[in-house]
Amino acid sequence: MIDGGALLKIPYGVYILSSFKDDKINAMIINSAMQVTAEPARIAVSVNKRSLTYEYILASGVFALMPLTEKIDFPFIGRFGFRSGRNFDKFAGVKYEKGVLGAPVVLENTTAVIEARADKNLDVGTHVIFAGEIKEARNICAAACLTYDYYRNVIKGKTPQGATHQ
Amino acid sequence: MIDGGALLKIPYGVYILSSFKDDKINAMIINSAMQVTAEPARIAVSVNKRSLTYEYILASGVFALMPLTEKIDFPFIGRFGFRSGRNFDKFAGVKYEKGVLGAPVVLENTTAVIEARADKNLDVGTHVIFAGEIKEARNICAAACLTYDYYRNVIKGKTPQGATHQ
């Protein structure tokens, strides 16, 4: 028996995950991210294989993870989480810069950026876990971070198709 | 540049992770756990290779993860997090039962249990990520769960050697 309520006792943040391929950039919303080693610092993210960002991480071997701010407007999440970069430019009008490893770093509605080289990965079915060595981590602003719990219960946000939780 | 403060913007819970080998049982404290797929439900944990629980998960291919309650006494965390099962019986006097997959399920100071078969794993240096298919997930009590942030900043708990964070 699997009680989904028991699974939701694991806390998550809500993040923009970005990458690039040649001169193209893309990003998506994820909540499954965690640090997995301290020395060297390494971070793991679980990414749906159907996503364009997954293809870009495979191509460039790089990703950037940015925790979102708690005070965020829903259209901003919708832009990154409920559209596909295959037919929509998610970065049009968004303030961003190129990170130290080449992935785009979103500078609005984000609190920090963690940039990693995705040098180890594990196929877990619908998703792949990328476990990357962190090359850069810095704060963008001091605002409170959005949690998955707050997103679900206060903002009443929906879960994108293909997420790690239903 | 790696700013540890930026890394701490990722939220974590605090968990007992247990396993077994033949007729021996053991458990440790971890904070790095997340669901990584929804269909089927699969959970990943990052486990230090020096730990006895790591050896037991390798041997049995099974683990159980239990979120701790926020109202927890420090000695209980110390018993599971700051002692080694190699020279100390962590379960002496603790209320527990055998889970559906065979790993011990602690029934006090825990809010839920998630039992998984560790059928996929990834070596990430000091730690291994076990990504296990969830076979059982159920609530133990409705108490609030302990977060890593609360543990650090309210309980003023220390970080065990060999943790995923320093």
Q: Is A138 on the interface with B (CB under 8 A)?
A: yes
pTM of the model: 0.96
CB-closest option in A11, A39, A164 to B36? A164
Which of A80-89, A142-151, B14-23, B53-62 has the least mean pLDDT? A80-89
Task: Give domain limits for chain A.
Answer: 4-153
- Which of A17, A34, A146 is the best mutation test for B, with the most CBs of B within 10 A? A34
Of the pLDDT bands very low, low, confident and very high (cuts 50, 70, 90), residue A166 is low
**The tokens of B161 are what?**
């050697």
Nearest one of B114, B116, B105, B157 to A124, comparing CA atoms: B116
Q: Is B32 on the interface with A (CB under 8 A)?
A: yes
Alpha-carbon torsion, ordered A144, A148, A154, A157, to 10 deg: 120
Separation CA B17–CA B27 (nearest Å): 5
B135 contacts A6 by C-beta, under 8 angstroms: no
Separation CA A99–CA A125 (nearest Å): 30
Q: What share of chain B is helix, strand, coil (3-state, %, to 5)?
A: 15, 40, 40
Give the per-residue pLDDT at A156.
Answer: 81
pLDDT in tens, A49-101: 999 999 999 999 999 999 999 999 888 999 999 888 898 899 999 999 999 99
Are B129 and A134 in contact (CB < 8 Å)? no
Q: Percent of chain B beyond pLDDT 90? A: 84
Are B164 and A36 in contact (CB < 8 Å)? yes
Are B122 and A126 in contact (CB < 8 Å)? no
Nearest-Cα residue of chain B relative to residue A121: B122
Give the per-residue pLDDT at A163.
Answer: 82
Query: Which CATH number fits the domain A4-153, given the four candidates 2.30.110.10, 3.40.50.2300, 3.30.365.10, 2.60.40.10?
Result: 2.30.110.10
Average pLDDT for B128-149: 97
Distance from CA of B158 to the nearest CA of A (A): 15
- The phi-psi region of residue A22 (left if phi > 0; otherwise alpha if psi is between -120 and 50; otherwise beta) is left
Give the per-residue pLDDT at A47.
Answer: 98
Give the per-residue pLDDT at A59.
Answer: 98
- The phi-psi region of residue A134 (left if phi > 0; otherwise alpha if psi is between -120 and 50; otherwise beta) is beta
Distance from CA of A44 to the nearest CA of B (A): 9
Give the per-residue pLDDT at A141.
Answer: 97
CATH number given to B10-153: 2.30.110.10
Average pLDDT for B91-110: 97
Of the pLDDT bands very low, low, confident and very high (cuts 50, 70, 90), residue B163 is confident
Give the per-residue pLDDT at A161.
Answer: 73
For B52, the 3-state DSSP assignment is helix
Average pLDDT for B78-89: 89
Are A41 and B121 in contact (CB < 8 Å)? no
Q: Is A99 on the interface with B (CB under 8 A)?
A: no
Residues of chain A neighbouring B113 (CB-CB closer than 8 A): 6
φ, ψ (nearest 5 deg) of residue B87: -135, 20
DSSP H helices in chain B: 4-7, 52-60, 74-81, 148-153
Q: Is A50 on the interface with B (CB under 8 A)?
A: no
Q: Percent of chain B beyond pLDDT 70? A: 99
N- to C-terminal Cα distance for chain A? 16
φ, ψ (nearest 5 deg) of residue B6: -65, -40
**The tokens of A160 are what?**
């994108």
What are the CA-CA distances from residue B41 to residues A2, A113, A125, A165, B12 (Å)? 9, 28, 10, 8, 19
A-B contacts (CB, under 8 Å): 179
Of the pLDDT bands very low, low, confident and very high (cuts 50, 70, 90), residue B166 is low
- ∠ CA A63-A68-A73, nearest 5°, is 130
Residues of chain B neighbouring A49 (CB-CB closer than 8 A): none
Q: Is the pLDDT of residue A5 over 80?
A: yes
Give the per-residue pLDDT at B77.
Answer: 92
Sign of the alpha-carbon dihedral angle for B42, B47, B49, B50: negative
Higher pLDDT, A118 or B83: A118
Distance from CA of A89 to the nearest CA of B (A): 27
Rg (CA), chain A: 15
What residue has token string 């190129």?
Answer: A98
Residues of chain B neighbouring A40 (CB-CB closer than 8 A): 125
φ, ψ (nearest 5 deg) of residue B74: -60, -40
Give the per-residue pLDDT at A82.
Answer: 86
Residue type, A32: S
Are B6 and A114 in contact (CB < 8 Å)? yes
Residues of chain B neighbouring A13 (CB-CB closer than 8 A): 9-11
Average pLDDT for B96-100: 98
Q: Tell me the residues of chain A between 52 and 91 that have a Cβ less than 8 Å away from chain B.
A: 67
Q: Is the pLDDT of residue A165 over 80?
A: no
Residues of chain B neighbouring A33 (CB-CB closer than 8 A): 10, 34
Separation CA B50–CA B88 (nearest Å): 16
What residue has token string 């039992």?
Answer: B115
Give the per-residue pLDDT at B157.
Answer: 79
